[in-house]
Structure 1
Amino acid sequence: MENKVKKLRLERAWSQEQLAQLSSLSVRTIQRVENNEVPSLETLSALASVFNVSVSDLVSEPIIESNELDNRIDEARKQVKDEIKLLKKIIVAIIVCSIMYIINYIYSPHLNWPIWVITIWGGILFIRSLKLFLLDKIFFKWQKNRLISLAKKNGTIL
């Protein structure tokens, strides 16, 4: 363990303090990991996330839970990436709609055509937000439960 974490840290020219800050761990925890003390899965998860590697890449002997933890980290990264995309779309919509509304106010204040664009664009972004924050989670849980029930029905174990 020590060699992998320390090696990754030194490859990036980070001090133990920098790694501790980036991983939200204490310096003492980093020192313990580098001195070959067995870290918790939470510590491994934080370090793997900072180094952008899988948990199994950090450990010498394979840990059964590390694959599940790697999957959770990958899912969290995808979720954050999708949230950033949505946030960018919302910011663009706000800027463009504001500019359209200002132009409308200057040149034809008696017409309110930007309201249609704002309403439609806002509706689309609202639906995408619902999908990202609500529907995806509901369907993921349904899919997981459905797989378990089918596996039990067929006599197989997942």
Structure 2
Amino acid sequence: MLVQKLRLQRGWSQQQLAQLCGLSVRTIQRIERGQPASMETLKALASVFEIEFSAISNEDNMATATAPELEEQHAFLQVRKLKGFYIHLTQYCLMIPLLCIINLLTNPSTLWFIWPALGWGIGLLVHAAAAFEVTPFLGAQWEKRQVEKRLGRPL
């Protein structure tokens, strides 16, 4: 999360950061998703951001994360979920009218585009419910109860 935060503070895209570090864009994406990075990669990032290596190498240590850092990580994850939903919604809004036009130009007597619109629409609604955390089941409270249960703590 620190890499993403530092990148956004400087207004760089993932591609720009990758070029500055001599890394691939996929590597930057993996690091920003929280996957581990090699020491050489972390050194390159620390050099580009002009910070101490120890500051960037301790980023993955969740045991030392403070409450504000955990809240920030949660906020980044929530924003990623919302971004994914909005991309999904944009794809739907572009593709369904295109399918409708193709349908009407090729076979106007049969409106087959309705079936992909309905199926994809249902998937989009499920994605929205997950992104906006409006599901009455399997939400944050359910997760908390399950964690407490597995840890043997009273509910």
Please, which runs of 5 or more residues in structure 1 have no aligned partner?
A: 1-7, 13-56, 58-65, 154-158
- Structure label with greater radius of gyration: 1
Number of residue equivalences: 93
Shift of 1:123: 0.6
Seen in structure 2, the aligned counterparts of structure 1 residues 111 and 151 have a Cα distance that, compared at 3 Å, is same
Deviations 1:56-80 (A, max 9, x none): x8xxxxxxxx711111111111111
TM-score w.r.t. the length of structure 2 is 0.50
Shift of 1:141: 1.6
Query: CA separation in 1, counterparts of 2:74 and 2:137?
Result: 11
Deviations 1:99-151 (A, max 9, x none): 11011112221110000010000011111111222239853222324545732
Please, which runs of 5 or more residues in structure 2 have no aligned partner?
A: 1-5, 11-54, 56-64
Shift of 1:93: 1.4
Spell out the pairing of 1:83-102 with structure 2 (5 A cutoff). 83-102=82-101
TM-score w.r.t. the length of structure 1 is 0.49
Deviations 1:17-54 (A, max 9, x none): xxxxxxxxxxxxxxxxxxxxxxxxxxxxxxxxxxxxxx
Structure 2 counterpart SS, 1:129: helix
Q: Which residue does the alignment assign to 2:141? A: 141
Structure 1 counterpart SS, 2:135: helix
The answer to whether 1:73 aligns with 2:75 is no
Query: CA separation in 2, counterparts of 1:89 and 1:105?
Result: 24
Seen in structure 2, the aligned counterparts of structure 1 residues 143 and 80 have a Cα distance that, compared at 3 Å, is same
Q: Which residue does the alignment assign to 1:60? A: none
Query: CA separation in 2, counterparts of 1:121 and 1:87?
Result: 14
Deviations 1:2-22 (A, max 9, x none): xxxxxx9xx96xxxxxxxxxx
Query: CA separation in 2, counterparts of 1:91 and 1:147?
Result: 35
Query: CA separation in 2, counterparts of 1:78 and 1:136?
Result: 20
Q: Which residue does the alignment assign to 1:105? A: 104
Q: Which residue does the alignment assign to 2:36? A: none
Query: CA separation in 1, counterparts of 2:103 and 2:146?
Result: 52
User: Quick one: which of 144, 150, 153 aligns to 1:151?
Assistant: 153
Q: Which residue does the alignment assign to 1:43? A: none
Higher helix share: 1
Identity %: 20
